[in-house]
C-alpha cells in the first residue's frame, strides 16, 4: 500500500518582506524630520571632524613629535617610531569596536556616540600634557602610547556608529549625499588641524615648537569634546533603531543576540565585503592625509611649510568634491562610483608618484590633486555603502567590527609600512604600488556588491522626506503590482 506524499510547500517569505511587497501602507513608511536629520548629520560629522583634527595635528607634527619622544633615533627612525605610535592606536580599534558595536545595538546609537566623543577628547588632551623624553625618559613614549591606545579604543566605536546614525536618519533617495557629510567633517577636521599647525610653524621658531608649541593643538581637544558631547546628548535615537526596539518589545521572546563568532560566521560574506571596501577607502585615505606630509618633507626634502600648504590646498579642494560624489552616488549608484575610484588607483598611482617625486612644486601639486580626486570616489560613497551591508539589529556591531579590523590591518598601518618600504628599498614608487594593490582588492570587492542606492536599508521600511513623497511611492508600488498581475 503506497502512501501519498505531501505536496512540497514553497518556503514562506519573511513577514516583513511579504508586507513590503504586498501590504505596504503609509504607516510602514518613515517620514524623516528634516530638522532632526540636519542635527543628526551635524553631530555625527562633528565627532569625525574631532577625530581627524587629532590625526591632522599628529601627522603634521610627526617630525617634531619624533624629536620630543624619540630623540635618540635618527631622522627616518624617528619618523618610523612616531608612526609606530600612530599605528598602535589602530591595533586596539577592533577591541573598541567589539565593546561599543554591540552596546550600540543594545542601548542605542546616540548614547554610545556620546561616550566615544568624550573619550576621544580626553585621549587627545592628555597627549598635550605628556612631558618630553628629556624630562622623564622612557616613560614619555610609553605615556604617548597609552594616550594613543585610549584614542584608538574610543574611535573603535566612532565611525561605525556615526555612519550608522546618518544612514538610519537619511531618506533612501539622498542617503549618499547626507552620508558624504561625514567625510566632509573628516576633511574639515583634518584641515583645521593642519591649518593650525601650519600657522604655528610660520609664527614660532623651530625651537619654540619643539619646546612647547606642539602641545597647543592637543589642548584644543577639550573644549571641542565638551561642545560635541552637548550636541550629541541633544539628539534623539534613529527612527530605524526605535522601530527595531518596538518590534523587539512586541515579541514575547526577543531574538537572542549573536556572539562574536556567530556574527562573523553568519555574516562572513558581508564582513569580507566590508573589510575589502574599507581597505580600499583607508589605504587611499591614510596615504594621502597621514603619510604624504612626512614623505614630502622627510624623503623629498621639501620645506615643512611648503609640504603643509600643498596638502591643505588638496584637502580644501576635496571637501566640495566629496559632497558632489555623494550626490552622484545617489543618481548613478554606489558600485559605479567606487569602481571608478579603484580603477583610478590602478591606472594613475604610478604617474602621480612620479609627479610627486619630481620635486617640482607644480608637478607635486598635480600628483596630489589627482590622488585627492580619486579618493573622493570613496569618501563620498562609503558612509552610505557600508551601513547598507547589514540589517538594523546587527548593523552597529557588524560595521564597527568589520570596519576596525580592516582599518587596523590595512589603514592605520599604511604610513608605517610605506615609510618602512621606502626606507628599506630606497624606491620612491613604493607608495604607488601599495595604492595599486588596494585598488585591485577594492575592484574585486565591488564586483560582489549588490546596488543599494535609492533603496531602503536592510531590515527597515522605506524612508522619505515628506508625506507627498510617501503617497507617490505607494502609488508607484500599486501600479507595479497591477502591472505584474496582468496576464502576459
Dig out the grid coordinates for 229 from the structure.
Answer: 558631547
- Asked whether 383 and 166 are in contact (CB, 8 A), the reply is yes
Q: What is the CATH number of the domain that holds 123?
A: 1.20.1250.20
- In percent, the amount of the chain with pLDDT more than 70 equals 91
What pLDDT, in 10s, does the model give residues 413-469?
Answer: 888 889 888 889 888 899 999 999 999 999 999 999 999 999 999 888 888 888 888
Integer Cα distance of 396 and 403 in angstroms: 10
Farthest-apart Cα atoms in the chain, separation: 101
State whether the Cα torsion 402-50-69-302 is positive or negative: positive
Decide if 16 is inside a domain.
no
Domain that holds residue 81: 28-241+260-472
| 403 inside domain | yes
Give a yes or no: residue 148 inside a domain: yes
Grid cell 588607483 — which residue? Answer: 345
Distance between first and last Cα of the chain: 43
Give the mean pLDDT of 135-160. 88
2: in domain: no
The answer as to whether 486 is a domain residue is no
- pLDDT computed for residue 53 by the predictor: 85
Residue 12 has pLDDT above 80, yes or no: no
Examine residue 22 and state whether it is found in any structural domain, yes or no: no
Asked if the structure places residue 247 within a domain, the reply is no
pLDDT at 254: 57
Output the pTM of the full model.
0.85
| Model confidence at 23: pLDDT above 70 | no
Mean of pLDDT values over 191-216: 88
Residue with cell 570587492: 445
Q: Is the pLDDT of residue 8 over 60?
A: no
Please report which confidence band the pLDDT of residue 166 belongs to, taking 50, 70 and 90 as the band edges: very high
List residues bridging with 463 in a β-sheet.
Answer: 30
| The C-alpha cell that represents 318 in the structure block | 576635496
Residues 6+ apart with CB under 8 A from 132: 68, 69, 140
What total number of domains does the chain contain?
1
Evaluate whether 311 touches 289 at the Cβ level (below 8 Å): yes
pLDDT at residue 227 above 90?
Answer: no
Q: Is residue 223 part of a domain?
A: yes
Give the H/E segment covering residue 463: strand 463-464
C-alpha span between 440 and 432 (Å, rounded): 13
Distant-in-sequence, close-in-space partners of 80: CB < 8 Å, separation ≥ 6: 416, 419, 420, 423
Amino acid at each position: 500500500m503506497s502512501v501519498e506524499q505531501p505536496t512540497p510547500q514553497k518556503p514562506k517569505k519573511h513577514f516583513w518582506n511579504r508586507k513590503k511587497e504586498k501590504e505596504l501602507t503609509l504607516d510602514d513608511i518613515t517620514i524623516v524630520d528634516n530638522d532632526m536629520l540636519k542635527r543628526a548629520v551635524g553631530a555625527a560629522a562633528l565627532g569625525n571632524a574631532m577625530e581627524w583634527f587629532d590625526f591632522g595635528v599628529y601627522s603634521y607634527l610627526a617630525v617634531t613629535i619624533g624629536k620630543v619622544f624619540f630623540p635618540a633615533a635618527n631622522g627616518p627612525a624617528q619618523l618610523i617610531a612616531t608612526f609606530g605610535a600612530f599605528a598602535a592606536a589602530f591595533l586596539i580599534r577592533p577591541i573598541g569596536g567589539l565593546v561599543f558595536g554591540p552596546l550600540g545595538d543594545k542601548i542605542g546609537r546616540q548614547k554610545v556616540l556620546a561616550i566615544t566623543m568624550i573619550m576621544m577628547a580626553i585621549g587627545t588632551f592628555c597627549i598635550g600634557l605628556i612631558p618630553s623624553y628629556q624630562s622623564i625618559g622612557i616613560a614619555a613614549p610609553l605615556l604617548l602610547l597609552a594616550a594613543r591606545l585610549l584614542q584608538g579604543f574610543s574611535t573603535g566605536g566612532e565611525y561605525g556608529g556615526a555612519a550608522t546614525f546618518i544612514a538610519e536618519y537619511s531618506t533612501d533617495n539622498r542617503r549618499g549625499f547626507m552620508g558624504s557629510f561625514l567625510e566632509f567633517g573628516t576633511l574639515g577636521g583634518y584641515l583645521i588641524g593642519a591649518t593650525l599647525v601650519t600657522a604655528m610653524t610660520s609664527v614660532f621658531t623651530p625651537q619654540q615648537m619643539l619646546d612647547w608649541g606642539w602641545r597647543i593643538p592637543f589642548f584644543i581637544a577639550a573644549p571641542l569634546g565638551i561642545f560635541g558631547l552637548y550636541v550629541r546628548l541633544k539628539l534623539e535615537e534613529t527612527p530605524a533603531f526605535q522601530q527595531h526596539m518596538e518590534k523587539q518589545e512586541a515579541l514575547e521572546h526577543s531574538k537572542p543576540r549573536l556572539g562574536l563568532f556567530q556574527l562573523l560566521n553568519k555574516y562572513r560574506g558581508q564582513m569580507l565585503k566590508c573589510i575589502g571596501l574599507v581597505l580600499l577607502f583607508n589605504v587611499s585615505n591614510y596615504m594621502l592625509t597621514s603619510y604624504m606630509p612626512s614623505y614630502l618633507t622627510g624623503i623629498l626634502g621639501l620645506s615643512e611649510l611648503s609640504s603643509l600648504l600643498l596638502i591643505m590646498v588638496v584637502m580644501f579642494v576635496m571637501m566640495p568634491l566629496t559632497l558632489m560624489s555623494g550626490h552622484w552616488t545617489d543618481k548613478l549608484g554606489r558600485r559605479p562610483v567606487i569602481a571608478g575610484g579603484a580603477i583610478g588607483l590602478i591606472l594613475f598611482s604610478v604617474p602621480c608618484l612620479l609627479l610627486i617625486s619630481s620635486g617640482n612644486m607644480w608637478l607635486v601639486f598635480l600628483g596630489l590633486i589627482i590622488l585627492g580626486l580619486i579618493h573622493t570616489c570613496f569618501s563620498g560613497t562609503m558612509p552610505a555603502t557600508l551601513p547598507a551591508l547589514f540589517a538594523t539589529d546587527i548593523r552597529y556591531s557588524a560595521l564597527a567590527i568589520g570596519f576596525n579590523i580592516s582599518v587596523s590591518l590595512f589603514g592605520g598601518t599604511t604610513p608605517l609600512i610605506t615609510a618602512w618600504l621606502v626606507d628599506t628599498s630606497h624606491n620612491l614608487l613604493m607608495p604607488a604600488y601599495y595604492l595599486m594593490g588596494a585598488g585591485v582588492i577594492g575592484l574585486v570587492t565591488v564586483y560582489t556588491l549588490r546596488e543599494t542606492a535609492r533603496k531602503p536599508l536592510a531590515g527597515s521600511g522605506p524612508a522619505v522626506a515628506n508625506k507627498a513623497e510617501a503617497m507617490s511611492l505607494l502609488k508607484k508600488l500599486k501600479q507595479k503590482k497591477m502591472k505584474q498581475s496582468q496576464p502576459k
